[in-house]
Every structure is written in structure tokens, then in C-alpha cells.
Amino acid sequence: MERRFAPDLMAGQVALVTGSGSGMGRATALEMAACGASLSLFGRRREPLEETAAMIRDGGGTAFVVSGDIRDEQSIDAAMDAIGAEYGRLDVLVNNAGGQYISAARDITNKGFEAVIRNNLIGSWQMTRAVAHRFMFERGGSIVFVTAVSARTALTGFAHTVAARAGVTGMMRTLAAEWGAYGIRLNAVAPGTIRTEALGRYPIPPEKWSEMNRSVLNRLGRPEDVAGTIIFLASKLGDFITGEDWYVDGGETLHLGHDARDMINAEMFAARERAQDRRG
Ligand SMILES: NC(=O)c1ccc[n+]([C@@H]2O[C@H](COP(=O)([O-])OP(=O)(O)OC[C@H]3O[C@@H](n4cnc5c(N)ncnc54)[C@H](OP(=O)(O)O)[C@@H]3O)[C@@H](O)[C@H]2O)c1
């Protein structure tokens, strides 16, 4: 792995990264471990978390797997117990777990909308609340939310998740104002289009993502691009930064009118028609 931070940047710190079995969560966990942090890895499927843990241990780092669901309070409480027993402290939380499906807003049902809000907004709140009460009100800490570029542009096909992520950003700012007194910093990182496994789950051919991409740097983002920014904000490098919402999008949202919108619409409606044809 390309080293970007000092190997002792996070020495002695314990970090919990949700959704660390894949994509940006895994990249963040690996890089935090390379900075000397001890990691707690959280997600629903144990196997990918174990893979991340093995990668961390291979590099000489420390990792502990706690599987669970951010939508489920009981599994969050169990994770807090397990982390408390394993490490006795928690200094950093990265609320990265989340997901959504692409759909024209007219096709989103109330149930589908609620499911996306539950995962991306309520799940992040529940995890944040648990970590703050269990560990951070007493000794401070740092929390970073992974959101989406919802404040500068429309995200066609993602009305549900845009609502959730904008909610997270607003919540983050208010918590930052209320919890600074406890020594807790909270920030958000909004990724543009990042090449992870998640892109493969959308009904958009892989080559189209590059074609639709409007990054002025002329490439899709890498999980490491986001991980580096998360670590900057979470670690002592970001010691005087709180309540901020940082974009990591290669300038994708600098464009007014964001013409990828038309291509996303075209792909989305083509997928819908294919599904309708299959159903007959
Ligand atoms: N890739 C992009 O272009 C992009 C852009 C903007 C924002 N984002 C957001 O950034 C975050 C990371 O994205 P990614 O691309 O790295 O996606 P990813 O590979 O799908 O990672 C999401 C992770 O979250 C976990 N997760 C999902 N729901 C969960 C739940 N209820 N409880 C616990 N864990 C859960 C998943 O593991 P399990 O399934 O095992 O639980 C998975 O490891 C996500 O919130 C994503 O929506 C992605």
C-alpha cells in the first residue's frame, strides 16, 4: 500500500469502521491500521470482515471483527460490549456502512424510501449515539460520516438516499455544535463516483460509469482517495476541524447542469424497460 501518513499517526487509538468488509470502508480500515490504530470491523456479513482483518494482521496491525447491523439497536449494543471488552476504549468512529438502489423517483415506493432512510440516516444515528454514550462523552473522540454529494447537485435516480445523506450532514453539524464541549469532533466526507464493488450492483454497464463521469481530473475516484480524507479528519491532523462537509469528487460537482443526469436517466429507464419485458 502506498504510504501517505506517518506510521504512528493513530498509534494507541482504537477505531471502529462500519462497512469495512469492502470498498471505502475496507480501504479506510487498512490505512488506519497502517497508521497504528487498532481496528474494530463492523458489517452484516462476517466473511468479508474476516478478510479485511486478515489483511490488517498480515501487515502487522490489530483487528477485531464484530458483525452486526446498523439498523438493529441490539446488535449495536452487543458490538459496544464486545469492543469495550476487547479494547476498553474507542476513539474514532467512521460511519461508512450504507447502500441504496437506483430508481426513478416515480418508481420509489414508500417502503423502499423508508428502507433507504433507515439504513443510511437512522443507522448512522443509532451507531453514533451508542458510541458517544458508551465511549466518547467521557473521553472525547472523532466521528466521520460517509455521505454523498447531495448539497451541490441533484443525484438523479437517488431521491431516497439524497434525502438520507442530506439528513446525515445536517445532523452531523448540529451534533458537532452540541458535542464539541465533550471533546467530540464530527465531520462528513462526501464521495463522488468511486470505483467499488457497489457500482457493479447498479443496472449500469461498468464502462458507462467512466463515460458518464464528469470529474475534471478525468477519472473515477478510488477507495483510497476517500480513505485518506477520512483519516485526515478523524486523526489529530484534523484536530481543529469539526462540523465540516468535505467533497472528495475530483471536481465532479463543479459542473452546473451535470449532464451525466441525462445518461443516468437513459440507463435507468432502459433497465426498467428490460425488467418490464422480462415480466412480460
Ligand atoms: N461508491 C460510490 O460511488 C459511492 C458514492 C457516494 C456514497 N457512497 C456510499 O459510501 C459508503 C461506502 O460505499 P462503497 O462504495 O464502499 O460500498 P460497499 O462496498 O457496498 O460498502 C458498503 C458496506 O456497508 C455494509 N453495510 C451496508 N448496510 C449495512 C448495515 N445495515 N449494517 C452494517 N453494515 C452494512 C456492507 O456490508 P454488509 O453487506 O456485509 O453489511 C458493505 O461492506 C456507502 O454508504 C455508499 O452508499 C458510495
The residue whose CB lies within 8 Å of the most ligand 1 atoms, and thus the one to mutate among 31, 44, 201, is 44
- Report the separation in Å between the CA atom of 10 and the middle of ligand 1, taken as the mean of its atom positions: 24
pLDDT value, residue 200: 87
Nearest to 15 by CA among 57, 55, 64, 59: 64
CATH of the domain at 234: 3.40.50.720
The verdict on residue 6 lying in a domain is no
The verdict on residue 5 lying in a domain is no
Q: How far is CA 107 from the centre of its chain?
A: 25
The verdict on residue 2 lying in a domain is no
Q: What is the largest CA-CA distance in the chain?
A: 60
pLDDT value, residue 55: 98
What are the pLDDT digits (tens) for 124-136? Answer: 999 999 999 999 9
The verdict on residue 125 lying in a domain is yes
Check: CB of residue 25 under 8 Å from CB of residue 19.
yes
pLDDT value, residue 262: 67
pLDDT value, residue 258: 56
pLDDT value, residue 268: 73
Strands (DSSP E) contained in the chain are 14-18, 38-43, 62-67, 92-95, 141-146, 184-191, 245-248
The verdict on residue 124 lying in a domain is yes
Within 10 angstroms of residue 188's Cβ, the number of other Cβ atoms is: 28
- Residue 194: DSSP 8-state: B
Helices vs. strands in the chain: H and E counts, helices first: 10, 7
The verdict on residue 170 lying in a domain is yes
Give 191's strand partners.
Answer: 248
What parts of the chain have a pLDDT lower than 70?
A: 1, 256-263
- Report the separation in Å between the CA atom of 181 and the middle of ligand 1, taken as the mean of its atom positions: 31
Atom of ligand 1 nearest to the CA of 198: 20
The verdict on residue 149 lying in a domain is yes
Domain of residue 161 covers 14-279
The residue whose CB lies within 8 Å of the most ligand 1 atoms, and thus the one to mutate among 196, 204, 209, is 196
Atom of ligand 1 nearest to the CA of 119: 31
Q: Count how many domains the chain has.
A: 1
pLDDT value, residue 257: 56
The verdict on residue 3 lying in a domain is no
Q: Kindly report the protein residue whose alpha carbon is nearest to atom 36 of ligand 1.
A: 19
Ligand 1: residues with CB < 6 A are 18-19, 21-25, 43-45, 48, 69-71, 96-99, 119, 123, 146, 148, 191, 193-194, 196-199
